[in-house]
Amino acid sequence: MAANILLVEDEPAIQELIAFNLNQAGHHVLRASTAEAALTLVRNALPDLVLLDWMLPGASGVDIAKRLRSDERTKHIPIIMLTARSDEQDKITGLESGADDYITKPFSPRELLARIKAVLRRRAPQMTDDAVEVQGLRLDPITHRVSGNGDTIDLGPTEFRLLHFFMTHPERVHSRSQLLDQVWGDHVFVEERTVDVHIRRLRSSLESTGHDGLIQTVRGTGYRFSTQQ
C-alpha cells in the first residue's frame, strides 16, 4: 500500500527521519515546514494522507487541520497529528479539529506506519490492498487483476485506478474534478474531458461481462458507481 503522504514538520531532523522511514515503507513523501507551504502543495495535488505536526511556526497544525476540513475539496483527506504533547485535553482538541488520529512523539517508525495503515483503511479504502467485489465484479489490488463472474477483464492503469476508486466509494456522485483529484492526483494539467475518455474505455472493458451498467452518468454532475438503476 503505497500512499502519497504530505509531511508537515518544521524540525529538519524529525522531518528527515520520518520521511526516510516513510520512503523505506514504499510511500511517496512531499514535505512542508510551514502551513503556507503545506496548503500550496495541497492546492496542486491532493495527498492521500497528511501527517501534521502540532507546533509549527505561524499557523499551527490544528489550524491547518481545520482549514482542510472546512474546504469541500480537502475535507476528506485523512489527517494524523504529530505532537510532543500527551495531554488528554490536547488530544481531544486535536481530534475535534478534524484529525483522524493522533500520535505522540517520540514514536517508533513501526507505530507510525501501523497508524497510517489503519487510518487509510478506514478513511481511504482505495489505498489499501483489500480486494473488492460487487455483483461478481472483482478487483484485486495486490495481483492487479480484475474479473467479471470469473472471466479476466483487461484494464489500462488509469481505468484500473478509476474502477478501484469507484468500487471503494459506491453509491455517490463524483464530479469530474473530484475524480481528477482522487484518481489522477494532480488535476492542474489534465482537462476534465479526459475523465470522460477513461470512463468510456472503462465501460467498454466492462461490457463483455455485463458490468458496464455499474458506471452511471449523472447528468450535469458527474459519475456514480451503483448497483441500483
The one among 53, 100, 159, 181 contacting Ca ion by CB under 5 A = 53
The CB-of-89 to Ca ion minimum distance in angstroms stands at 19
CB 50 within 8 A of CB 4: no
* Phi, psi angles (nearest 5°) of residue 126: -70, -10
SS (H, E, C) 28-78: EEEEECCHHHHHHHHHHECCCEEEEECCCCCCCHHHHHHHHHHCCCCCCCC
Q: Is 48 in the site for Ca ion (CB under 5 A)?
A: no
Among the listed ranges 8-16, 18-26, 100-108, 208-216, the one in contact with Ca ion (CB under 5 A) is 8-16
Angstrom CA distances, 67 to 28, 51, 147, 186, 188, stand at 23, 15, 41, 20, 21
Name the 3-class secondary structure at 83: strand
The one among 39, 55, 95, 118 contacting Ca ion by CB under 5 A = 55
The CB-of-52 to Ca ion minimum distance in angstroms stands at 10
Among the listed ranges 6-14, 140-148, 178-186, 215-223, the one in contact with Ca ion (CB under 5 A) is 6-14
Report whether the peptide linkage leading into residue 157 is cis, meaning its omega lies within 30 degrees of zero.
no
The CB-of-54 to Ca ion minimum distance in angstroms stands at 7
Among the listed ranges 17-25, 50-58, 71-79, 175-183, the one in contact with Ca ion (CB under 5 A) is 50-58
| Nearer of residues 10 and 63 to Ca ion, judged by Cβ | 10
Angstrom CA distances, 145 to 58, 121, 180, stand at 47, 20, 23
Of all residues in the shown chain, the one whose CB is closest to Ca ion is 55
Q: Is 10 in the site for Ca ion (CB under 5 A)?
A: yes
Among the listed ranges 9-17, 96-104, 118-126, 183-191, the one in contact with Ca ion (CB under 5 A) is 9-17
Query: Which residue type is seen at 158?
Result: T
d(C-alpha 9, C-alpha 61), whole Å: 9
Q: Number of residues in contact with Ca ion, rule: CB under 5 A?
A: 3
Q: Which residues bind Ca ion (CB under 5 A)?
A: 10, 53, 55
